[in-house]
Amino acid sequence: MKTEKIEIATAYIRLDQLLKFTGIADTGGQAKEIVASGVCVINGEPCLLRGKKLRPGDAVLIEDIRIEVVGPCR
């Protein structure tokens, strides 16, 4: 399983934005389709909400890719 750590400088990032930022989705429409297909698992729970707010400490699993959201290093 591949793990990526994504650092955000804001309080949260939406799931669809995260998918585009990481390159999993090329467009917002593609991100919407990925989320609607039911393959996104956030903190162990399936998620169908493309606007789900992800905060530092959250983990997203999509097939064999794990994305960990982290806050800015200070």
- Model confidence over 40-60: pLDDT tens digits? 999 999 999 999 999 999 999
Integer-rounded Cα radius of gyration of the chain = 11
Task: Please state the domain count of the chain.
Answer: 1
pLDDT at site 74:
52
Contact 66, 24 (CB under 8 A): no
**pLDDT, tens only, 13-40:** 999 999 999 999 999 999 999 999 999 9
Q: What angle do CA 29, 52, 43 make, to 5 degrees?
A: 115
Domain of residue 46 covers 2-70
Q: How confident is the model at residue 69 (pLDDT cuts 50, 70, 90)?
A: very high
Q: pTM for the whole thing? A: 0.91
We report the CATH number of the domain holding residue 58 as: 3.10.290.10
Tokens 């997203």, located at residue:
60
